Structure 1
């Protein structure tokens, strides 16, 4: 799924794994190579015959042949000398070429290597048939200035050269862009910047820096960047930091009142690019930094109107909640607004009874009884855990009345101990509309159900407000 999605973005080469690693890795690489993708499928290889044989068995088009080139790696890791390593690089390049493979000859730890020795390895590799070269900043110590100087030199070699950066000092994107400006023909990148230690260069950052700041278009479908990011995060189990550039949850989220006020006048005031450009949407959230503009916008979304004095009162109450360290959810805002405006809207969906059974010999099962628009509804559900079972039962019970999608779920322990008060925060969506809600109890199951119920009732009320 990931390979197909990356291919649909328009990348040129997919390094699908290292064939020598395991049976599972080989099976995955072979399946990807057999998918008929547009991208060239590549396997990572050490300068060892068994690595190349494993890659050949996976039907890949090319190999990324990695040669340790720093004295530290040559002496401490390989226990060899420079000449022996150069000879190994030539021999394995010739072997791979004799089996019909494209070869990208890569200098590992190149940023700590002697540049003249590195060039001698590259030139020997080119003479042996290498199609491309690669410079690896294996421990992320390049600076943009040094990267530019190095690639101004290496780009004069007889084969195209690529840049492979790690992000140990947070410089991977800057170094990659500097290398490209100096003549590098290819960049090694990963989705979300995932990779060893602090990660590798982020594809979405490089593509958008080139597009927006250097006015250089690539073949990459930029509208697919966010959906690709989400897919990789979900399937790899590696979350994206909220403050991650381009694809992080907060990248196009605004709270501060001065920002929102500017955005309402012109979105360019506090956004370097529009979220739609990368397949995203703008979000305005509420908190202690929110101002009147945010509240007016949120009240409009809720279908409520208020006087200037009432808006001021709502802002003060909302900031008080934020000052206590709490997230200000849509449900919080509506409760505050209804109190200030003297409105009380009775919940359309009420919980009457919930029973959950779980253990190491039974699948977690929940039964729930609700009162929905005055009618009693009883439903049951199963799940991977007791919370999942309870939420599934709840969603089945309100199906048809409020078909909601649970988009996000967060749990925080407010107090310590086994009887800790937990706060559950959820984001729900229905028909293109999203809402956030919170539940707080010592029972995580009840807190979760309470949060989802709160969100469901608010979504129903919003819909009714818009229709009236």
Structure 2
């Protein structure tokens, strides 16, 4: 059975505290949603503002394959704005719980029923597809809820949706509720919130109970604890529910997850299923060994299935198999004794409570392999004088082809002074520094700093790096390493 997916990232997801998307950001997300096979895109709420309507109009102009909806209350003013935005459909939201009808709307159930069918008729008269969403359905009297749906069906509603507005369903109660509604002659959707961390489980149970459409947001963003996580739900259907499928291209899930995270600024926790940075990361030596032999030993799905790559994490729990694989990824081939020494050095560093990063690994491996032992130029000593009223001054002691040379230089800052002290020597003549940046910094006040530079001499360009706890040392070492590379070829 094919399960339809309605994505509400641009409406319910944007209601995440602190999130406000620009029209361009909304269009980019909608474009990607359409590309990956989302069936229905809720582009926003047309009643909200003029800017929101302009965003929706930009999306409806694209002629996407996906059906484009706007949120709407059962009010003519809301529906007219939806019509103005040229959407295909409306997500017509009507409260059905006693709490919402009496305390929020201050009307009777009969008035609510009349409001609902009048809005459906108005939408249909204007050529709109209508999905009627029962707000707070999970806390509604079941007989009244079903009556609302039956009346909507009598007025030619296209789809109905059960909303667990405050996330109080459980997998068992979700299955039971949808099982009692699956005799309705209409496509039934499920819209869950994650207040108790059960949104995905409740949505999957709803499918088992008879739901044939699900509402999701990318990365599970939304008000309070968020909505049903799109990526977790869709991949679960694909891998765990053999009798069900979606139209989603799941190999592009990670791309849209990153797009939404960047656009909204909402951080994805590292241990989040499917898209978290640790979802396919392995540190344990036992796990890494098993993964290398057969990935199925410790992965239920391959990372490539969802557009990811596997990572072997550097740390005290890692074994030599995972370490060797990681070293090969950064272009280093080591023998057995070198591998053991690198592994021991990593464990020693990790035992001190330090997080071991790729920068640390490069430093440790370089030291064990003594990669730079044949360099013509070596830095022996560097001294910096700098202060609030002192021009930054550097003195360096350098060995060039075994001959020790002392030199000094000044600059706008200590790094500039140190580089000037080095490059004024004859051997550095005609070498231009064309790029300089700090690539990564590990945590803590004793952090390793990774400086990457690009040097040019005539028509030859090389990159080099220096890694130290001191940015000045790292910069000078990177510069010297680059010149050594220029001289070696």
Provide TM-score, normalisation by structure 2.
0.75
Assess, with a 3 A threshold, how the Cα gap between structure 1 residues 132 and 164 changes in structure 2: closer, same or farther.
same
**2: CA distance, partners of 1:290 / 1:13:** 44
2:432 match:
377
For the pair 1:188 / 2:243, whether they are aligned, the reply is no
Pairing 1:393-432 to 2, within 5 Å after superposition:
394=436, 412=443, 414=444, 421=445, 423=447
Pairing 1:165-204 to 2, within 5 Å after superposition:
165-204=192-231
Q: Secondary structure at the match of 1:100?
A: coil
1:152 match:
179
What runs of 5+ residues in structure 1 fail to find an aligned partner? 356-364, 380-392, 396-403, 415-420, 429-435
What runs of 5+ residues in structure 2 fail to find an aligned partner? 1-27, 387-411, 453-464
Assess, with a 3 A threshold, how the Cα gap between structure 1 residues 422 and 295 changes in structure 2: closer, same or farther.
closer
For the pair 1:250 / 2:278, whether they are aligned, the reply is yes
Shift of 1:423: 4.3
Q: Secondary structure at the match of 1:170?
A: coil
Shift of 1:438: 7.2
Q: Secondary structure at the match of 1:65?
A: strand
2:394 match:
none
How many residues of Structure 1 are paired with residues of Structure 2 in the alignment?
A: 411
Provide TM-score, normalisation by structure 1.
0.78
1:390 match:
none
**2: CA distance, partners of 1:437 / 1:147:** 57
Shift of 1:343: 4.8
Farther-moved stretch of structure 1 (296-305 vs 253-262): 296-305
**1: CA distance, partners of 2:145 / 2:97:** 8
Pairing 1:211-360 to 2, within 5 Å after superposition:
211-215=238-242, 216-301=244-329, 302-308=331-337, 310-344=338-372
**1: CA distance, partners of 2:312 / 2:158:** 49
**2: CA distance, partners of 1:224 / 1:242:** 19
Assess, with a 3 A threshold, how the Cα gap between structure 1 residues 128 and 298 changes in structure 2: closer, same or farther.
closer
Larger relative contact order (CA 8 Å, sep ≥ 6): 2
**1: CA distance, partners of 2:231 / 2:219:** 7
Shift of 1:198: 1.0
Shift of 1:81: 2.0
Shift of 1:325: 2.8
Equivalent pair of 2:71/2:93 in contact (CA under 8 Å)? yes
Q: 1:369-422 CA deviation, whole Å, 9 max, x = no partner?
A: 96899563245xxxxxxxxxxxxx526xxxxxxxx9x6xx6775x3xxxxxx38
Assess, with a 3 A threshold, how the Cα gap between structure 1 residues 111 and 341 changes in structure 2: closer, same or farther.
same
Equivalent pair of 1:347/1:457 in contact (CA under 8 Å)? no
Q: Flag the structure with larger Rg.
A: 2
Q: 1:129-151 CA deviation, whole Å, 9 max, x = no partner?
A: 21110000011111111111111
**1: CA distance, partners of 2:219 / 2:209:** 25
Q: Secondary structure at the match of 1:73?
A: helix
Equivalent pair of 1:210/1:217 in contact (CA under 8 Å)? yes
Shift of 1:207: 1.4
Q: Secondary structure at the match of 1:394?
A: strand
**1: CA distance, partners of 2:357 / 2:480:** 14
Q: 1:241-274 CA deviation, whole Å, 9 max, x = no partner?
A: 1111111111111111111011111111111111
Assess, with a 3 A threshold, how the Cα gap between structure 1 residues 83 and 276 changes in structure 2: closer, same or farther.
same
The two structures, once aligned, show a CA RMSD in angstroms of 3.7
For the pair 1:38 / 2:80, whether they are aligned, the reply is no
**1: CA distance, partners of 2:103 / 2:164:** 18
